Structure 1
């Protein structure tokens, strides 16, 4: 484990450069922009959680941290960001150099305040189910949903809506038999019309004002007391009920779901009103005021009503990348559909609603048009072949996986979903914030910390996400303000503070604060250049450049982005490598830079950049997951890992090259989305002959079982759960491995004929 990974485990943050350039011109010499990858909810073993509100600067709102200057006599602290002198609260009167509060101890760069604020309403979940699928698929989906109900905490509010040609919104307060409101999916309705159909009033706000002021939020019966009030039964609580109150009713509804009776013949696509169904779900959740998420399970594209992606006739193909790029007749609905789902995204972020999409179909379902709806709200996206696949079932379970050690209804600290997150950044005056790239949206906070140039989502020092979890990672980019005529002093420290305010599933507000100091330097000074080289984190730098490249794909052509990546690589290596012109043997690259070119080589070839042989939905899925994952998982998507297993030696990583594919080796190939166990020719023959069943060859049995066990260990903590494949050398499934290996040897090489393929 590198020192940068160790630092990330302690703080949740990784920088491309850990020594900053001291001027704008020096920033250009660094080539790779100064940036960081930050995981706000990363599990930290020794995370301190003070049970009080933080002390903030009166001028810039920066938070008291270990790098502030304290006058212990007068109880004054100087903000390291704006140099404002602030008076410490009376509760800090007893502090001395030997008696410091947690936030002033330098070993705790990251702390999490448990804010003393009024608890919020509990979150709500609406299950949005496409019932236009086949009976077998619907049965599999129902089984998965029933298992999910057993994992959801009882304080969560739940609702259920089904859709096909019509939209059916179920009344969970009526327990005698299923009762619902039906809306035609073909109609384009407004919020007021939907509220009128459902009889909705803004009861959520009344709950917050009247009932949350004087009652204990942690009381187990508190939620039930509120929901059981008679004056709310005709409002939004008809459609949203605590799971503890409606579990039996909800289970009955799910078990009795039937395939949409309006489903057409095999020659035509079913009528599916996904756009209208999401609008109805958002309208209900907007009345609750506690936020929540819409979990949308789709198996067909939108063919009915607003947001229509494709027509009903199967002879009309669904759009491809070529159709979208060339704006052909096939893609005539794409722009209008995208604009509609973008409007739903604006409504969702206004009401703090997260939209998750689980697309299970052999064809596309319109995820490309819904991409901003999922991305801006911080939603989860999964694409699988069927609802009965391991990928779907395990991924759905993974979302609400509880801590096995604890019997509490709270989700595990490593797995829980949190809501209404706001990420704000403060910097010292030498630095400015260029922007952020991740599954979030701008909070439009134009403070003095904001840079003129923008990278990603810029023009602000604060961003919001309706939902975050322990793997949600954001990329932030910075620039230097000083000119070369007045560079920053080399021994001076630049400060960056990232604060994330969010709401737990139990309604408690928390604030995680990470403060990171960095020295300034110049590559023109030989001694400083060595320190700068050692401060380079090539893994974080590669991911930051890759995120920027993926962001550019929205507006720029593929070849232009590839040329941009290549120019950065050439400039970086020419700046920091040692070489003599026209002498290849003199080329020497520092150790901290040796793997970066390799990352970029594989990134150019992966499906994050290339769209060949991928549908628009698949491309959105891969890029969406990449923009929310941690540094090491992102590296895995860019450059897959390859491990070899032999009878004669322990498992070890090998280069991603065809030379690693040997008859006497088992390979474990991991792309994050796909885990493959590849048996060499000789080992496959022994396995087929049953040698593993002979007690004399127990070591062989252990050899063929170990990669599968390791594959399961790799797969369990991930969302989405990766696809698992087991294949033999030379089989059709082995193409997943050979297509990504470096082709150092081909069928024309003598090596090819050495073995019996």
Structure 2
């Protein structure tokens, strides 16, 4: 484990550079922007959780931390961010150098305050169920929902709405038989009209809401009855027409109900078909009119005629959701697209979860739904207060010392519009603020923050001076308790022009964090820029970075020497350019949104997996070990475990597949062979279990059609060009591709550097 990963385990944070440039011009020499990946609710072993409110600086609002200067006699502390002197509260009268409170001990850069505030109402959850799926699929969906009810905390308030051609809102106060309100899905109703129809006028008492939202402990039997008696939408279907699906109307109604609930919550939308009826329509009822694909959206063809209006409709729901702390999850289970592309901003900006699976009767859907309500109890954290996967109503704020400014963040959140003295002029991602809002946040939610240096080269920051960054996250647990997690991170300033510091700066470079920060920025750019322009931008950064820090003699490729801390960065970029986060070929718009949405919320190492998958080999003659992601790693005598985060594949070599098919594993004499066949599957389950979404699992043999998932992501070091199109027995396979190998890519990189 690297020192950077250890820092992440202690504080949930990783920086691209752990020594900061001392001026704007020096920042340009560093090439990669100063930034960090931060997981606010990361499970941290031994996290200190004091039961009192923090002390704030009266000028910049930063929180008392280990790097503040303390006058023990006068009980005054100087803020390390703005240097304002502040009086300590009476509760700190007994402190001394030998008797420090937790927040002043330097080994505790991250602490979490259990705020002494009035608990809020518990969150509410509305299941929004598409009933236009097949009967077998509906049975599988009902089974999954029943299992989820047993995992949801009893204090949650639950509601249920079903939709197809019409929208049905269930009144949970009727125990003896289900009662529901019905609204035509084709109608576009305002929030006031919906509230009037459902009797939601009395905001203060929540009397109207209580018909549709009940504590799980009181309505579990009623909910179970409703779910078990659900039937497929009765609207008559034909082979030439799609079902009538009123997703837009159903979402608006669910949002209107939750907007009356002061505890906030989430809408969990379970889709099986695209919206074809009412507001938010993404496809027509006629199957002869195809649903849009990437080329339709880019060229604005007739197939994309609904995209603009549908996107605008779903975007119009965002403001109410943010104001009322409502997150929207979308679980799309269909072999066709369901309109996730048009709903992407609603899910992203409310901090919702997104999943695409083939059907409700799949491990991907079932295990992902279960994962939401499971506890995060691991060997590294036995703290019961950190075990809830989902938390709510989070606000993330950043304070910086005067030499630094926050340029923005890239993640699933929205701006809180707090423009303080910590905000930079330039913007990266969601900028122009030092605070962001997340309606929903969990233990894996990770945000990329980007910073700017304020000093000019004429007035650089003194080398070895410490710059400070403090990130505070206020959030609400499912029990309604308020928490504030604070991470304070100090860093030295330096200059690559100083020969005494350059080696330290090189060693401070975290190439994994840097690669993910650049990749996040590239994915963010896909909303407004063309693919080729972004690729040129990525390549330009790579060329500048390696030319700045590699040692070489011009026009002598053999003299090229890249420092260890930079050696894997080109490889990350090579694989990132080819992955489905950037390329849209062979992916639908819905799938592309799903992959990018997940990438923008995951931790550093999970993001690296999406960019450059991991490959593990299993042999009879040696223990399991990681191998290079190269076609040369494919062997007839090896089992390979291939992990892309979204997909886990076990690949059996040709010889091992023959022995397996002949039943050698059933012979007690070959128990080691049986163990070899089983071990990759066990490891795959261990990898998959903690993830959301739960990855797809596949087993295949070398040379089979599904082995393409592996070969398409491997470095094509053996192609028909390099081998004369001869695939010798016992050798790794030949890849039929025109894509250049990493070796060709790196040679081109060196040639580009020589031309500078």
| TM-score, reference length from structure 1 | 0.95
Give 1:755 deviation, angstroms.
3.1
**What's the offset of the Cα at 1:415?**
4.3
Q: Where do residues 305-344 of structure 1 align in structure 2 (5 Å cutoff)?
A: 305-344=278-317
Change (3 A) 1:202 1:57: farther
Q: Which of residues 688, 697, 708 is equivalent to 1:724?
A: 697
Shift in Å, 1:289: 1.3
> What residue number does 1:138 align with?
138
**Paired residue for 2:161?**
161
Secondary structure of 1:649 counterpart: coil
Q: Which residue of 2 aligns with 1:21?
A: 21
The match for 1:6 is: 6
How far did residue 416 of structure 1 move? 2.2
1:14-93 correspondence runs (5 A): 14-93=14-93
Matching residue within 650, 656, 662 for 1:689: 662
| Alignment CA distance shift 1:540-1:67 (3 Å) | same
Which residue of 1 is the match for residue 442 of structure 2?
469
Checking the alignment, whether the CA contact within 8 Å between 1:201 and 1:236 is kept in structure 2 is no
Shift of 1:527: 1.3
Task: Indicate whether 1:199 and 2:174 are aligned.
Answer: no
Report deviation, 1:414.
4.0
Distance 1:23 1:403 in 2: 42
Q: Deviations over 1:96-121 (max 9, x none)?
A: 00100000000000000000001000
1:574 aligns with 2:547: yes
Q: Deviations over 1:391-416 (max 9, x none)?
A: 0000000000136799xxx9872442
Mark the CA change 1:628 to 1:263 in structure 2 (over 3 Å): closer, same or farther. Answer: farther
- Could you tell me whether the CA contact under 8 Å between 2:68 and 2:77 is conserved in 1? yes
The question of 1:739 aligning with 2:680 is answered no
Q: How does 1:362-441 map to 2 (within 5 A)?
A: 362-402=335-375, 413-441=386-414
Gaps of 5+ in 2: 734-756
Note the 1:116-195 alignment, pairs <5 A: 116-195=116-195
Preserved CA contact (<8 Å) 1:153 1:411: no
| Partner of residue 532 from structure 2, selected from 547, 559, 565 | 559
Q: 2:107 matched to which residue of 1?
A: 107
1:489 aligns with 2:462: yes
Give 3-state SS (helix, strand or coil) of 2:471's partner: strand
Deviations 1:707-746 (A, max 9, x none): 0000000000000000000000000010000011111112
Shift of 1:206: 4.1
User: Residue 499 of structure 1 aligns with which residue?
Assistant: 472
Deviations 1:238-274 (A, max 9, x none): 0000001000000000000011111421210000000
SS in 1 for 2:259: helix
SS at match of 2:727: helix
Change (3 A) 1:462 1:405: closer
Stretches of 4+ aligned residues off by more than 3 angstroms: 402-406
User: For the residues of structure 1 that align with 2:523 and 2:236, how far apart are their CA atoms?
Assistant: 38
**Cα distance, 1:202 vs. partner?**
4.0
Q: Which residue of 1 aligns with 2:740?
A: none
Deviations along 1:443-483, whole A, 9 cap, x unmatched?
00000110010000000000000000000000000010000
**Which residue does the alignment assign to 1:220?**
none
Distance 1:69 1:554 in 2: 45
* 8 Å contact from structure 1 (residues 130, 299) kept in 2: yes
Are 1:399 and 1:415, in contact at CA under 8 Å, matched by a contact in 2? no
Partner of 1:596: 569
**SS in structure 2 at match of 1:253:** helix
Does the CA contact (< 8 Å) of 2:648 and 2:698 recur in 1?
A: yes
Task: Indicate the residue corresponding to 1:753 in structure 2.
Answer: 728
Contact 1:640 1:671 in 2 (8 A): yes
**1:533 paired to 2:506:** yes
Q: Judge conservation of contact 2:167–2:250 (CA < 8 Å) in 1.
A: yes
Counterpart contact for 1:673–1:723, Cα < 8 Å: yes
Partner of 2:604: 631
Kindly provide the CA deviation profile for residues 413-460 of structure 1, in whole angstroms up to 9, marking residues without a partner as x.
244210000000000000001000000000000001100100000000
Q: Does the Cα contact within 8 Å between 1:746 and 1:752 map onto a contact in 2? A: no
CA deviations on 1:538-560 (whole Å, 9 max, x unpaired) are 00000000000000000000000
CA positional deviation for 1:753: 1.5
Q: Which residue of 1 aligns with 2:738?
A: none
Q: What is the TM-score with the length of structure 2 in the denominator?
A: 0.95
CA distance in 1: counterparts of 2:395 and 2:487, whole angstroms: 14
For the residue of structure 2 that corresponds to 1:197, the secondary structure is: helix
Question: Aligned equivalents of 1:736 and 1:414: distance in 2?
Answer: 35
Q: Is the CA contact (8 Å cut-off) linking 1:401 and 1:411 kept in structure 2?
A: no
Alpha-carbon RMSD across the aligned residues, in angstroms, is 1.3
Distance 2:664 2:134 in 1: 43
Kindly indicate whether residue 257 of structure 2 is the aligned counterpart of residue 284 of structure 1.
yes
- Cα-to-partner distance string for 1:478-534 (whole Å, 9 max, x where unaligned): 010000000000121000000000000000000000000000000001111100000
Query: Is the CA contact 1:443–1:463 (under 8 Å) kept in the aligned structure 2?
Result: yes
Paired position in structure 2 for 1:216:
none
Closer, same or farther in 2 for the Cα pair 1:42/1:202, shift >3 Å? farther
**Distance in 2 of aligned mates of 1:414 and 1:732:** 41
User: What SS does structure 2 have at the residue aligned with 1:161?
Assistant: strand
For 1:107 and 1:720, the matched residues in 2 are separated by 35
Instruction: Tell me the SS of whatever aligns to 1:36.
Output: strand
Alpha-carbon distance in structure 2 between the residues aligned to 1:412 and 1:304: 44
Q: Is contact 2:388–2:478 with CA below 8 Å preserved after alignment?
A: no
1:330 Cα offset (Å)? 0.9
Counterpart for residue 739 of structure 2: none
Between the aligned partners of 2:388 and 2:366, the Cα distance in structure 1 is: 17
Q: CA deviation at 1:132?
A: 1.0
CA distance in 1, matches of 2:458, 2:100: 40
CA distance in structure 1 between the partners assigned to 2:202 and 2:45 by the alignment: 42
Give the 3-state SS of the residue equivalent to 2:255 in structure 1. helix
CA distance in 1, matches of 2:573, 2:171: 53
Residue 231 of structure 2 is aligned with which of 248, 258, 261? Answer: 258
User: Against the structure 1 CA distance between its residues 415 and 697, is the aligned structure 2 distance closer, same or farther, given a 3 Å change threshold?
Assistant: farther
Give, in whole Å, the separation in 2 of the partners of 1:375 and 1:607.
Answer: 19
**Per-residue displacement from partner, 1:660-706 (whole Å, max 9, x unpaired)?**
00000000000000000000000000010111111111111111100
The CA distance in 1 between the partners of 2:554 and 2:73, in whole Å, is: 62
In structure 1, list runs of 5 or more residues that go unmatched: 208-231
> Is 2:73 aligned against 1:98?
no
- Give runs of aligned pairs for residues 693-704 of structure 1, distance below 5 A: 693-704=666-677
Matched residue of 2:44: which SS? coil
| 1:347, distance to aligned residue in structure 2 (A) | 1.5
Contact (CA 8 Å) 1:401, 1:412: kept in 2 or not? no
